[in-house]
Amino acid sequence: MTDDAAPGLPGLPDLRACDADRERVVEVLRDALAEGRLDMAEFEERLEETYQARTYGELAPITRDLPAAGVTPPPVVSLHKEPPQDGSWAGRVVGGEGSSSWAVAVMSGFQRKGRWTVPRRFTCVAFWGGGEIDLREADFSAGEVRITCVAIMGGVQIVVPPGVEVLVRGIGVMGGFDQRESGVPGDPGGPRVIVDGFAFWGGVGVERKKTRAARRQEKLDRKTARHEQRSVPGDDVRQEHRGILEGHQDLLHDHDHGHGHRPEPERQRLERRDRPDRRDRHYDD
């Protein structure tokens, strides 16, 4: 980081960085990996440099060519702590009429997924067909929405994200409505989804899944945690010594095992060699 990158803070490159500063740089690296700006090899190389950095001047070059979250493109990552973002559902209950209020699949299929606004009431029909309603990235026109499904020799699959309360009230005749997620409490301020309707020789399933971005972030977090564990001083040496010790134990075990079994076959072979042959005894008689 240079003085130009931090006006009004003389001598900033020489200041010691704290753990929070390094974690903010790691967040930028994770976002860059998820967006395809860095490949895995570059990510791991820069991650190692981040945890080895001791000053702001050593941290700044690591993200100099990467944009910070929500800004395109800053010259360097800001090392100042920003206020935490609001993680509530308030930003996803947007009001309005909704993007689509109905869907029909007759010997075919339909999908509602990605960024769309769920209306207060959504109706769908699946006749000899199937449909998918994915709410993981959707906005909601109200705090409570109703999805009415009619499945006749067909099926409808509803996917909700964590934090959404689901109430299932459908009726099934030689079919059914999935009740596994019904009644699970949601997050404070989260929307409620009521699923009702009728299923005849068909079914309506409800499952709870995380978004792809959340699963990808968890995968990155696990890789980062493994990298941090590998970077702890002394761990590699202890593991190497442990491997050498186990290798010596295996060699000693094989050596003892071999010496314990070799004399027996050799003794039997010598006894057979010294034992008179039956045919010789027959001719002698």
What is the mean predicted confidence (pLDDT) over 62-82? 59
User: pLDDT value at position 84?
Assistant: 38
57-93 burial: b if 16+ Cβ within 10 Å, else e: bebbebbeebbbeeeeeeebbbbeeeeeeeeebeebb
User: pLDDT value at position 3?
Assistant: 41
User: pLDDT value at position 220?
Assistant: 79
pLDDT of 205 strictly over 70: yes
What is the mean predicted confidence (pLDDT) over 244-256? 57
pTM above 0.75, yes or no: no
Q: Which residues pair with 263 in a beta bridge?
A: none
| Closest to 123 in 3D by CA, of 103, 140, 139, 141 | 103
Predicted confidence (pLDDT) per residue in 13-55, tens digit: 678 888 878 888 888 888 887 777 888 888 888 888 888 888 8
User: pLDDT value at position 67?
Assistant: 78
Q: Residue 151 — pLDDT band, cuts 50, 70, 90?
A: very high
Spatial strand order in the sheet of 155-160: 109-112, 130-134, 155-160, 203-208, 176-177
For the ranges 27-31, 147-151, 158-162, 242-246, which has the lowest average pLDDT? 242-246
Predicted confidence (pLDDT) per residue in 218-245, tens digit: 777 777 777 666 655 445 555 665 666 5
